[in-house]
Structure 1
Amino acid sequence: MTLTVDGNPSGATTTPSSRLQTTMAAARLSFTWLGVRKSLSSHQREQAADSFGAEGKYLSAGKKLLDTSHPAFKAVTSVRSRTVSFWKGVSLPYPEPGIRLIRQDAIAVFDSQIAEFKEELSEAVVQLDQHFGELRQAARIRLGDLYCPDDYPHSLIGMFAIEHDYPSVEPPDYLRRLNPALYEQECRRMQSRFDDAIHMAEQAFLEEISRLIEHLTERLSGDSDGKPKVFRDSAIGNLTEFFERFRQLNVRSNPQLDELVDRACQVVSGIQPHQLRDSSELRQRVANQLGAVQSSLDGLLVDRPRRNILRRPR
């Protein structure tokens, strides 16, 4: 099984970064989110500092406005976490804050899934708003004199939102007509950004598969109190998910990485967690083979030190 990107033009003469530009689109994700912490006023800081015999200007202090451990609040934050995980799981990094690269042929699926998350968030916020009164009352009790009604909105509806769009990461076409030299300069700058994106993707893939293999190998090797170490099904499942994501997003920029991922895939292909639990011989064989892949990955990580890619501020 060779793990190459699906739907990518063969384009033997194209570069990885040009393939990235041709087959990927920028997807930006952002959030509107209610702040639940607030700094104390200067007067409150002075009062707090007095209890320690300190000067207020040297004290930093804040208050927590709502109990974020409330189930209704956790349901809201869960939607945000799952949205970010989904976005990262179907995309490659890009050296711009809040932007990642997704496959152009996956835009419809991405857009549909984000729409579902938006709807889920709206429903969770409605449920949270129904508990808003009791949350404020609990805050009044816990904060005492620090409680201030003006810190809270009248309703939580509209205080949380998910936004997404597809910003252009290409030079504006009008520059070609108005200033060809500047247009060419912008083309080179954008090309450099995609070169950086290739390196960031390679680094992320390398670090992730290295971590997953190291964890599984450690679980398969040796004993704990004379018994085989316990490992969860997810130790295999996470690797399988990585192989699928690599197949979907790989732009064939690093033949060594491709070969090592393929080797690791071959080692665990068709093996079920219960088989590893039932057979010490199989455990040892898989551990040895993955250990060899890990050694090669370690060498690749050393040979390709992390570059300091600056992300431009938004």
Structure 2
Amino acid sequence: MSVADRVSIPLTGNPVDPLADRLRAAMAAARVSFTWFGSRKSLTAEQQSQAADTFDAEKEFLSARKKLIDTTHPAMKAVTALRGQIVQYWRRVSLPFPEPGIRLIRRADIAAFNVQLTSLKGELGETVEQLEESYAELKRSARQRLGRLFNASDYPVTLRGMFDVNWDWPSIDPPHYLQQLSPDLFQQECTRVQARFTEAIQLAEQAFFEEFAKLLEHLTERLTGDVDGKPKVFRDSAIENLREFFQRFQSLNVGSHQQLEELVSQAQRIVRGVGPQKLRDDRGLRQEVASQLSGVQSVLDGLMVDRPRRNLVRRPH
């Protein structure tokens, strides 16, 4: 049975939370993990004592590490950047979940996710090969820079296999066998799972609130005011990132906050058909868009202030 076809165990006997049930039925747990060679290492006890003597300090109150590889080297920066790209993609297509290392992805998106991660894994392998070509150079540089702190045993023979990414689909449902072995414990696990999905809804809502507010604040700040009598410069990404948020919100929104949905729709209408260059060329349009988005931002700020003092506003079901 594929992950997309996996059937969730009914959480019988628990208070009904339609949104949590809908989220649980539509999503699968995705876990992305990295194998990563550490570029820094703590000093040995002897080295730490020597460092403490240099500063006339007690070694128990001194913490020091050495950098094994120059992380500013282009080949190393390329590997690090690819890891960031993988994490960014994973976060962009998923929702947070209150268990470390796990996020929720739409079951309908699993195939595309697997294809993209497979492609990025291959690209990471190619980038590590390029880093491997510079490995001898990096070690020579480290030997020169670290002096007596250099230790050849800190370095693997090769960097192949030292940088990798893997992903899996852990089950977050109560194990089937508990239902027969211990009905009470099974019920406790059902309650825990449902609470996790209820919390996941709140985490998703919070993430959408914060990202939307940040994007609005940045765009309106760039659209308002002048610098030396000229309109402020803004990148195309200020608009493009907001439009990308609209698409992601539409895809991943769980319907937990009707007011937020209305504000997102309102902002979407404001910038519909408005390109970055048009905003640069038409000062009147620029001021109009900035004013309307500022109104959305004001209402959003009020909702964000009010959120800690209320329960989730759930749409009638």
Determine whether 1:262 maps to 2:265: yes
> Per-residue deviation at 1:260?
0.7
TM-score computed with the length of structure 2 as normaliser? 0.91
Aligned-partner Cα distance in 1 for 2:277–2:135: 47
Aligned-partner Cα distance in 1 for 2:271–2:202: 27
- Number of residues of Structure 1 aligned to a counterpart in Structure 2: 295
| 2:52 matched residue in structure 1 | 49
Q: Give the fraction of aligned pairs with identical amino acids, expressed as a percent.
A: 58
Aligned-partner Cα distance in 2 for 1:173–1:260: 42
1:132-187 residue CA offsets vs partner (Å, 9 max, x unmatched): 11110110111111111111111111111101000011111122222222222211
Determine whether 1:297 maps to 2:300: yes
| 2:251 matched residue in structure 1 | 248
Q: 1:107-256 to 2 correspondence within 5 Å?
A: 107-256=110-259
Aligned-partner Cα distance in 2 for 1:130–1:279: 52
1:12-68 residue CA offsets vs partner (Å, 9 max, x unmatched): x97211111010100001101001111111111111111211122211111101111
Q: Which runs of 5+ in 2 are unaligned?
A: 1-15, 311-317
Provide the alpha-carbon RMSD of the alignment: 1.4
Please give the secondary structure, in 2, of the residue aligned with 1:154: coil
Please give the secondary structure, in 1, of the residue aligned with 2:173: coil
| 1:6 matched residue in structure 2 | none
Aligned-partner Cα distance in 2 for 1:46–1:186: 50
Aligned-partner Cα distance in 2 for 1:37–1:14: 47
Please give the secondary structure, in 1, of the residue aligned with 2:95: strand
Question: Structure 2: which amino acid aligns with 1:149?
Answer: A
Aligned-partner Cα distance in 1 for 2:140–2:25: 55
Q: 1:285 aligned to 283, 288, 293, which one?
A: 288
Question: Structure 1: which amino acid aligns with 2:89?
Answer: F
Question: Structure 2: which amino acid aligns with 1:287?
Answer: A
Moved over 4 A (4+): none
Aligned-partner Cα distance in 2 for 1:180–1:50: 62
> Per-residue deviation at 1:85?
0.3
Question: Structure 2: which amino acid aligns with 1:228?
Answer: P
Determine if contact 1:203/1:306 at 8 Å carries over to the other structure.
no
Question: Structure 1: which amino acid aligns with 2:94?
Answer: S
Please give the secondary structure, in 1, of the residue aligned with 2:57: coil
Aligned-partner Cα distance in 2 for 1:96–1:14: 20
Q: 1:2-13 to 2 correspondence within 5 Å?
A: none
Please give the secondary structure, in 2, of the residue aligned with 1:100: strand
Q: Which runs of 5+ in 1 are unaligned?
A: 1-12, 308-314
TM-score computed with the length of structure 1 as normaliser? 0.91
Aligned-partner Cα distance in 1 for 2:191–2:139: 54
Determine if contact 2:17/2:198 at 8 Å carries over to the other structure.
no
Determine if contact 1:221/1:229 at 8 Å carries over to the other structure.
yes
Aligned-partner Cα distance in 1 for 2:175–2:20: 19
Please give the secondary structure, in 2, of the residue aligned with 1:54: coil
Question: Structure 1: which amino acid aligns with 2:291?
Answer: N
Determine if contact 1:26/1:167 at 8 Å carries over to the other structure.
yes
Please give the secondary structure, in 1, of the residue aligned with 2:308: coil
Question: Structure 1: which amino acid aligns with 2:238?
Answer: A
Determine whether 1:60 maps to 2:95: no
| 2:106 matched residue in structure 1 | 103
Determine if contact 1:25/1:101 at 8 Å carries over to the other structure.
yes
| 1:81 matched residue in structure 2 | 84
